Amino acid sequence: MGKEIPAEKSLNLIRGRLCHPSFIFRPLSASSDSNYSKLKFIVSTSIMEGCNNSILLLGPRGSGKAAVLDLVVGDLLEQFPDSVSVIRLNGLLHSDDNCAFKEIARQLCMEHHLLFSKMASFDENSHFIIAMLRECGLAHKTIIFVLDEFDMFAQGKQRLLYSLLDAMQSVTSQAVVIGISSRLDADQLLEKRVRSRFSHRKILFLPPSRDELDGLLEHLLSLPADSSFPSGYVSRFNDKIKNITSDRRFKDILKTFFNAHSTVNSFLKFIFCAVSLMNLESGLLSLENFKAALSSMQRQPKLEAVRDCSVLELYLLVCMRRLEVKEQSSYNFISVMKEYKAIHDSFQTSDYYAQNVCIRGFEHLRERQVICYAENRGQSQTGEYRPMKLLISASELHQGMRSHACCPAILLKLLDH
Amino acid sequence: MPPKEESSKVTRRSTRSSASVTVENSEPTESHTPTIDDLTFGEESITIDAVLSNFPGRRSQIFDFIRLMGPLDCPTLPIMIYGGASTGKTSVVLQVLRHLNRPFVYSSCRTCYNPRILFESILNQLLLHRKCSLNGYSSAKRCDKPSDFVNLLREALSSVIKTLESTSGTSRSDKPDEKPMGKMVYLILDNVDLIRDWDKGTIILQFLFSLYTVLKMPQLGIILISGLPPDVYYSNMGYTDPIPLYFPEYSEEDLRQIFLRNQPNRKLYSAFLDVVLKPFCRVTRRVEELSTTFSLLFRKFCEPLDDLGISPNEDMKRRLYSHLKPLIAHCLNEIFRVSSHPHDGETRGERRQKASYSSENREELEILDFHMSTSAKFLLLSAFLASRNPATLDASMFDSTGGMDNRKRKRKASEKSMEKKEIAEQEAVMKGPGSFPLERLLAIFQCIASVGDSSFGEEDEEEENTTGYDKENNNLMSDILLQVSSLCDANFLIKSGSCPLEGSIRYRSMVSEDLAQKVAKSLSFPLSKYLYRR
């Protein structure tokens, strides 16, 4: 393929950075009191002194816990090449004890070039793991267990946690258990016997400050001045970025964004959307890209659903709303039909359709999750008699109808009464 | 311990019949072993203009999607495309990937209805394994747990990416003007909203949303297509949501463009759409529902024309409109009903159409369009009456005089009793049809059948088995019970909960009043006399 145009190359580069977590979190972890340094200190001390340890990393989803941990693990693997091995487990996949032990055994086998048998039973796997722990301890090798989605492991009988933490109590084993969870009370979920063996070290991941994020933005979007780009292009691109970030409107955009989203991951998604809208001919970002990205992240799905409704479906929604206003606590299809007929009789609307047509309108509304059945247990009744409820509020309905392409004026009048 | 490989052959039990029949092992036709090229769309690649013209009204969504995919080999975060039914999500995605000529793996959660089939389908495509008679139609690897899936997916993806990297290095001399395939593979999962109804569906959904972070492979792009907006997937656990892309319903202008495509005579059809599109769009804007009605109506529209190739002038247009207008109002009420009678000029169909022409008001066709035996019809009516009438009125309703006494209350009802009546009516509507025990049903049936018999003598054209019925009435009790169970199967009756004191089963009638009226009319049974109206 011929030469790529520089716009495409820069797009590839920036998007590659956005999808690569360690690039993003390294500058955030540069200071000495960051979570990265704390974690690294704890783990490296336990490796060097040959003792056991357990830590929990807590923070909302998308705040970079796994990314920072990967950075730490990567650095430690470079620092102590032969004395560290890593076992990774995920609570979504391995919450079942059988699965978890099989996975640990499989990863241990892969590390140490042993043959793994898929037919091994649970007991065999657990004996194998304990034996490996002892051997590694005698060889002064530390095993780091990374337990992602830690709260999923704390469901049920917590056998895996107990056996791991129990094995660490024996003198010969050297292991560090690092749990990652987005539930801030993950350690409260542990059983008494597990909690007693757990050292209550917790590292909290808080949302980054505005300065850190500004620095991150610049770090992400500035192109390196190496030879693969045409030289004038790099300087033009970086100047444009500087112009945008110092613009007051851009700061307003960022402020609106941070009112709703506080984690690093959502910020990265925002930058991703903005960068994807880059004009490929000029190869430069502009303020409009960021504005468009912000509006695409501020979706209102119920509003979109109402705007997608046909006129008949709007009638049905208005009838349901009127029944609610009349303080009828529960209503079903037949009562909505009665209200529909009453509206037609009093206002002589042109949109009066037969019952089978209205039932299909109801089904469409139900598929779009604008209405639903009020209770699940009335399965023995046909759909016409089951009580229903609205899933959107009155103001959303108002707003949706006002922005609808062809909503009849009478409906808005009926809604206000 | 030596590793034991899981054999992928299916061991079949040999039954007596299969052992006796020698399988004719004819030479298998040269089955096509899939190569890496099969991961792309396969057909002729198309230009962006062709894609845009194939999908009128989707211009901005197509461009947004192409921008999110990015140029060749550009890593991407997971994308979720959502929108209503028949808005073109799947076709746009597939056609854009055909235009970009990038390798992808497509799986729909509608055809792969449980996790195991879904995982195995994805793995089969990545491992370039095709199910054929040689391997006993089995998958390449057995996988039903997400943990196994992640490991196997990682292996399969690495081998595919290695192949892609080696082929991208060498220039492809046979198709020089084709776009390069690049080094990324895209995973497309369709109908993701159906996973919610699966067993353990929430865990699977959670897993799919975090697949990108778990795998940590930047060469994989994930595209999820969902019929429901992303906010229905929010759960207690939270997840990093994918980038959304919304496909709104078509506007009227877009629908006009869509229907005008592939029409032999565009001017004629556009004149047709001028009169038809606006009223029907008020009911529904979905393409699949409108297209069935429009094809029917267009046939009616073109009836007075001898030559379908002409473009109409104003006078002809007015003539055609006036011909079509009476039918539109009727069709609006029938829009969702697909008629079981073919309208290819069959005489019976035409007769029915003429009947509807004459009735200008919107009356339902009074003919029952399925066949039921007389006793089943009477049972249906008695079930309907048993559900609608309170049990205490049975004695007065079904006495020898037949029908309710027209004892109208001459007193003006007080306001309080009117209110009570309204509340009682509301409650009755909310509760739905009442339930009744089997004995009550049979008692009402016996009363009605004897009444119905007496009115049979007057109209003696319709039914065949009129006179012999009365004599055989006493011997038909077992037959009646059989009819009850077949009515249950046809969902006209359902079994509701049994009474805790007596333990007898109670039934509930699910028949609408329209259908009951139709059945009563076909039997010439005065249903309204027996119906209790509050």
Residues B285 and B239 both lie in one domain: no
Q: How confident is the model at residue B17 (pLDDT cuts 50, 70, 90)?
A: low
Among the listed residues A136, A137, A160, A156, the one whose alpha carbon sits nearest the alpha carbon of residue A147 = A160
Residues B436 and B289 both lie in one domain: no
Model pTM score: 0.82
For residues A190-212, give the mean pLDDT: 87
Report how far apart, in Å, the C-alpha atoms of B172 and of each of A31, A312, B181 are.
50, 56, 10
B36 has pLDDT over 80: no
Q: Name the residue with higher pLDDT: B164 or B169.
A: B164
How does pLDDT run across A315-340, given as a tens digit for each residue? Answer: 999 998 888 888 777 788 888 888 88
**Is A116's CB within 8 Å of B246's CB?**
no
How does pLDDT run across A38-67, given as a tens digit for each residue? Answer: 889 999 998 888 888 899 999 888 888 888
Among the listed residues A89, A191, A197, A101, the one whose alpha carbon sits nearest the alpha carbon of residue A150 = A89
DSSP H helices, B76-192, are 89-100, 115-126, 146-169
Supply the pLDDT for residue B370: 77
Any domain includes B394: yes
How does pLDDT run across A261-281, given as a tens digit for each residue? Answer: 888 888 888 999 998 888 888
Report how far apart, in Å, the C-alpha atoms of B75 and of each of A9, B155, B223 are.
12, 19, 13
Residues linked to residue A311 through DSSP beta bridges, in sequence order: none
DSSP H helices, B403-498, are 415-431, 438-456, 468-471, 477-489
How does pLDDT run across A204-262, given as a tens digit for each residue? Answer: 988 888 888 888 888 888 888 776 777 788 888 888 888 888 888 998 998 898 888 88
Among the listed residues A73, A68, A103, the one whose alpha carbon sits nearest the alpha carbon of residue A89 = A103
Q: Quick check: A64 and A264 in contact, CB under 8 A?
A: yes
Report how far apart, in Å, the C-alpha atoms of A369 and of each of A187, A389, B54, B113, B233 are.
37, 11, 30, 22, 12
For residues B15-32, give the mean pLDDT: 54
**Is A357's CB within 8 Å of B332's CB?**
yes
Supply the pLDDT for residue B120: 92
Any domain includes B445: yes
Strand ranges (DSSP E) for A99-171? Answer: 142-148
Residues B324 and B382 both lie in one domain: no
- The DSSP secondary-structure symbol of B233 reads G
Q: How confident is the model at residue B371 (pLDDT cuts 50, 70, 90)?
A: confident
Residues B327 and B476 both lie in one domain: no
Supply the pLDDT for residue A281: 80
Supply the pLDDT for residue B453: 60
Neighbours of B478 (CB within 10 A): 8
- The top-scoring range by mean pLDDT among A103-112, B27-36, B466-475 is A103-112
How does pLDDT run across A123-182, given as a tens digit for each residue? Answer: 888 888 888 888 888 888 889 999 998 888 888 888 888 888 888 887 688 889 999 998
Report how far apart, in Å, the C-alpha atoms of A213 and of each of A208, A217, A258, A263 are.
7, 6, 11, 10
How does pLDDT run across A342-386, given as a tens digit for each residue? Answer: 888 888 877 788 888 888 888 888 888 888 888 766 556 666 778
Looking at the partner chain, which of B1, B77, B228 has a beta carbon nearest the beta carbon of A369? B228
**Per-chain mean pLDDT for chain B:** 77
Instruction: Tell me how many helices (H) and strands (E) chain A has.
Output: 21, 7
Residues B234 and B89 both lie in one domain: yes
Q: Quick check: A136 and A142 in contact, CB under 8 A?
A: yes
Any domain includes B5: no
Q: What is the DSSP string of B242-268?
A: PEEEEEPPP-HHHHHHHHHTT-S-HHH
How does pLDDT run across B481-493, given as a tens digit for each residue? Answer: 888 888 888 888 8
**CA–CA gap between residue B322 and residue B315 (Å, rounded):** 11
**Is A332's CB within 8 Å of B429's CB?**
yes
Give the three-class secondary structure for A415: helix
Q: Quick check: B126 and B157 in contact, CB under 8 A?
A: yes
Cα B376 to chain center, whole Å?
A: 30
**Is A380's CB within 8 Å of B494's CB?**
yes
Report how far apart, in Å, the C-alpha atoms of B182 and of each of A168, B78, B93, B492 are.
47, 18, 18, 59
From the number of C-beta atoms within 10 Å of its C-beta (0-12, 13-18, 19+), residue B117 rates as middle
Among the listed residues B164, B155, B158, B142, the one whose alpha carbon sits nearest the alpha carbon of residue B39 = B164
Q: How confident is the model at residue B474 (pLDDT cuts 50, 70, 90)?
A: low
Among the listed residues B292, B280, B299, B274, the one whose alpha carbon sits nearest the alpha carbon of residue B353 = B299
Residues B215 and B282 both lie in one domain: no
Percentage of chain B with pLDDT > 90? Answer: 12
Looking at the partner chain, which of B3, B145, B333 has a beta carbon nearest the beta carbon of A115? B3
For residues A270-299, give the mean pLDDT: 86
Supply the pLDDT for residue B177: 59
Q: Which residues of B touch A357 (CB under 8 A)?
A: 283, 332-333, 335-336
Q: Which residues of A touch B228 (CB under 8 A)?
A: 368-369
Q: Which residues of B touch A273 (CB under 8 A)?
A: 68, 243
Any domain includes B268: yes
In chain A, whose CA is at the least distance from the CA of B71? A8
The set of residues, in sequence order, having a beta carbon less than 8 Å from that of B389 and lying 6+ positions away, is B397, B530, B531, B532
**CA–CA gap between residue B140 and residue B33 (Å, rounded):** 14
Any domain includes B330: yes
Among the listed residues A371, A398, A400, the one whose alpha carbon sits nearest the alpha carbon of residue A387 = A371
Looking at the partner chain, which of A15, A92, A103 has a beta carbon nearest the beta carbon of B210? A92
**CA–CA gap between residue B22 and residue B40 (Å, rounded):** 40
Domain hosting residue B212, numbered range: 36-166+179-246
> What is the residue type of B209?
F
Supply the pLDDT for residue A57: 92
Give the three-class secondary structure for A339: helix
B386 has pLDDT over 90: no
Q: Characterize the bridge pairing of strands B435-437 and B506-509.
A: antiparallel
**CA–CA gap between residue B39 and residue B183 (Å, rounded):** 12
Comparing B26-40, B45-59, B381-395, the range with the smallest average pLDDT is B26-40
Instruction: Please report, to the nearest 10 degrees, the dihedral formed by the alpha carbons of residues A157, A160, A166, A170 taken in order.
Output: 160
The set of residues, in sequence order, having a beta carbon less than 8 Å from that of A40 and lying 6+ positions away, is A72, A75, A76
Supply the pLDDT for residue B500: 66
> Which tokens belong to A287?
């303020």
Residues B121 and B225 both lie in one domain: yes
**CA–CA gap between residue B280 and residue B332 (Å, rounded):** 7
Q: How far apart are the first and last CA of chain A?
A: 66
Supply the pLDDT for residue B224: 94
For residues A86-96, give the mean pLDDT: 88
B205 has pLDDT over 60: yes
Supply the pLDDT for residue B361: 32
Comparing A114-118, B232-236, B501-505, B509-513, the range with the smallest average pLDDT is B501-505
Supply the pLDDT for residue B417: 80
**CA–CA gap between residue A310 and residue B496 (Å, rounded):** 36
Q: How confident is the model at residue B458 (pLDDT cuts 50, 70, 90)?
A: very low
Any domain includes B209: yes
Contacts 24+ apart (CB under 8 A), A18-23: A18/A220, A18/A268, A18/A271, A18/A272, A18/A275, A18/B75, A18/B77, A19/B75, A19/B76, A19/B77, A19/B218, A20/B75, A20/B218, A21/A64, A21/A66, A21/A67, A21/A70, A22/A67, A22/A70, A22/A71, A22/A74
Looking at the partner chain, which of A12, A361, A364 has a beta carbon nearest the beta carbon of B73? A12
B464 has pLDDT over 60: no
Q: How confident is the model at residue B106 (pLDDT cuts 50, 70, 90)?
A: very high
Residues B40 and B120 both lie in one domain: yes
Residues B306 and B200 both lie in one domain: no
Instruction: Out of B246, B273, B297, pick the residue that ends a domain.
Output: B246
Among the listed residues A284, A279, A290, the one whose alpha carbon sits nearest the alpha carbon of residue A217 = A290
Q: Quick check: A361 and B282 in contact, CB under 8 A?
A: no
Q: What is the DSSP string of A345-379?
A: HHH--S----HHHHHHHHHHHHHTTSEEES-SS-T
* Strands of B220-226's sheet in order across: B104-108, B185-190, B220-226, B79-83, B243-247
Looking at the partner chain, which of A20, A367, A369 has a beta carbon nearest the beta carbon of B218? A20
Any domain includes B412: no
> What is the residue type of A152?
M
B461 has pLDDT over 50: no
Which of A377, A382, A384, A393 should be substituted to probe chain B, the one whose Cβ sees the most B Cβ atoms within 10 Å? A382
Cα B61 to chain center, whole Å?
A: 26
Looking at the partner chain, which of A60, A117, A351 has a beta carbon nearest the beta carbon of B3? A117
> Quick one: chain A helix, strand, coil %, rounded to 5?
60, 10, 35
Comparing A365-379, B31-45, B174-188, B507-521, the range with the smallest average pLDDT is B31-45
B364 has pLDDT over 50: no
**CA–CA gap between residue B245 and residue B88 (Å, rounded):** 13
Report how far apart, in Å, the C-alpha atoms of B56 and of each of B87, B98, B244, B277 are.
11, 18, 21, 16
Q: What values do phi and psi take at B112, rounded to 5?
A: -95, 90
Residues B326 and B376 both lie in one domain: no
Percentage of chain A with pLDDT > 70? Answer: 96
Supply the pLDDT for residue B175: 55
Residues linked to residue B187 through DSSP beta bridges, in sequence order: B105, B222
Instruction: Out of B212, B246, B280, pick the residue that ends a domain.
Output: B246
Instruction: Please report, to the nearest 10 degrees, the dihedral formed by the alpha carbons of residues B489, B490, B496, B498 taken in order.
Output: -40
For residues A284-308, give the mean pLDDT: 86
Hey, is the C-beta of A139 within 8 angstroms of any chain B C-beta?
Answer: no
Residues B274 and B139 both lie in one domain: no
Instruction: Out of B288, B319, B337, pick the residue that ends a domain.
Output: B337
**CA–CA gap between residue B268 and residue B310 (Å, rounded):** 7
Residues B233 and B256 both lie in one domain: no
Any domain includes B152: yes
What is the number of structural domains in chain B? 3
Residues 215-234 of A with CB under 8 A from B: none
**Is B230's CB within 8 Å of A301's CB?**
yes
How does pLDDT run across B401-440, given as a tens digit for each residue? Answer: 554 554 544 456 677 888 888 777 777 777 778 888 888 8
Q: How confident is the model at residue B459 (pLDDT cuts 50, 70, 90)?
A: very low
Percentage of chain B with pLDDT > 70? Answer: 75
Neighbours of B129 (CB within 10 A): 19
CATH number at residue B119: 3.40.50.300
How does pLDDT run across B207-218, given as a tens digit for each residue? Answer: 999 898 888 888
Supply the pLDDT for residue B191: 93
Q: Which residues of B touch A385 (CB under 8 A)?
A: 429-433
Residues 156-215 of A with CB under 8 A from B: 182
How does pLDDT run across B166-183, given as a tens digit for each residue? Answer: 877 665 555 555 677 788
For residues A108-120, give the mean pLDDT: 83
CB-based burial, B329-355: b 16+ in 10 Å, e otherwise: ebbbbbbbeeeeeeeeeeeeeeebeee
> Which tokens belong to A262?
């506080």
